[in-house]
Chains A and B, each alone.
Chain A
């Protein structure tokens, strides 16, 4: 019974920390934020890895393996696409603009 309360405390504190930090994310980065938290919530990978690797029984292994597949898509794909988006966000660069004009 104590363990569940420990878990609830952790959940509550993490939710407040998450709320506080994420409040500060500017609207500019809201799409990358979603991709980012999506990658992080792929952390259910951790649960599925145990199910797929510990060989409790065949059903658990198969379900776990499918879960690993889904979670990996999120983790790897989520980080990848967040990076792809963040790379696009550039500050003003007058030199690059001038070069672009000259080329066109």
Chain B
């Protein structure tokens, strides 16, 4: 029986990696997904005939053995499908954060359950297993509450700004160190139950305290990091249960989260340490340093002016940002592009890696608006083309188009790669108000002589532009 289980797990692992490979190109991605789904099917099949379950099956029969599995599996599937089918694409970051919370919780619960079985009931747990369970519970708990916090911030249930308190970093690091000490102690002496439950509870608190100080604009890094932790928790589960497919799938997930968080940090020109412990603490000073720019006047353009500018353009690059998601303006962006293209205008999209609240957020929204993915360009691909472009249309983006990042060392975003929207012949910025972006700094682009601003909700404004043009 055990060799059958292992064979199925081996096939599952192979299919997971094959599926992941499919994701390296848009036209093979769905095929990859099918491989991964098959892999998951094999892994579940293998588990349902696990020796421990079959032993139970021999004694208790089908219904008694599988009743809890079937019940929770069907409820879980129903919830999973309901959430995934109904949630709007603009709220994808919340959905992802929530699923990390579920993943973390599942891993932590399996860890506690294993501890209970092997130590509390049977009274024999070896140090290696204990260490693995310790890591599992640590990462699982941290991911669970940390992701719930991220979910709360992204959905607006908790204020999205950074919440700070005195000696925050010091106390957080101290607590993290303390949890680690507990982990070492419980590994040395697995029989100490009080210690175990204390060690299981600490990460729950830590998850909340770690994410609380991190502001909305830094969420891409937090989500990807929690992605990585969820994977590590799954991998630790594999170590605790001697299950290789869990170790492999968890390692892949951990690697993916790690890569993405590096990409995000680079795109913000900040280190992990700065994102996690920086809390944008120095913004106030830099805000004052930049205030001189605030004295200048911006040029306001009416909807009619904007429509005129766009209709006369031979080439347009759209620079979307989180504001486009908030206003749900992606569909009307697509409509506008359709009209402009029918007019002979070339329309492309410049996607900054950290535009939005998670990696790839803007791509998904624009794909939803039926914009072909061949028109969605990455920053490096398109940045040289701005200077030969008639109009850069900035929809709800701010810091990612701020030219100060290129030449003003006093700016807190100095050094961050930005879209060269300022180099286009003219630039239309759709903006709700003159409020500065999340970095809290003024955007020089708004005061440039070739920039005009159209105030109002991006969706309303674009709808009126579309009406004016059609």
Contact = CB atoms under 8 A, between A and B. Distances in A.
A74 B80 contact: yes
B27 to A, nearest CB: 7
Which label, helix, strand, loop or mixed, suits the secondary structure of the B interface?
Answer: helix
Contacts of A39: 36, 40
B251 A18 contact: yes
Nearest to A3: B242
Contacts, number: 379
Given A30-B359, A74-B80, A76-B81, A38 B99 contact: yes
Interface size class of B (residues with CB under 8 A): 35 or more
Contacts of A81: 83-84, 87, 92, 95
Nearest to B92: A31
A44 B43 CA distance: 10
Given A11-B247, A47-B246, A29 B73 contact: no
A72 B77 contact: yes
A51 B40 contact: no
B23 interface: yes
A51 B115 CA distance: 11
Given A31-B364, A59-B113, A70-B76, A42 B20 contact: no
B106 A49 contact: no
Contacts of B44: 45-46, 49
A67 B110 contact: yes
B229 to A, nearest CB: 10
A41 to B, nearest CB: 4
A33 B96 CA distance: 11
A72 B367 contact: no
A69 B364 contact: no
B376 interface: yes
Interface string B229-260: 01101110111111111111111111111111
Contacts of B175: none
A47 B110 contact: yes
Q: A4, A30, A43: which has the most chain B beta carbons within 10 Å?
A: A43
Interface in A12-38: 12, 14-19, 21-38
10 contacts: A26-B378, A33-B360, A34-B359, A49-B44, A51-B113, A70-B102, A78-B80, A80-B80, A88-B370, A100-B338
Given A7-B242, A15-B255, A44-B237, 17 more contacts: A10-B248, A14-B251, A27-B378, A30-B360, A31-B96, A31-B359, A34-B359, A46-B44, A47-B107, A49-B48, A53-B66, A63-B113, A67-B105, A67-B106, A70-B109, A77-B80, A86-B30
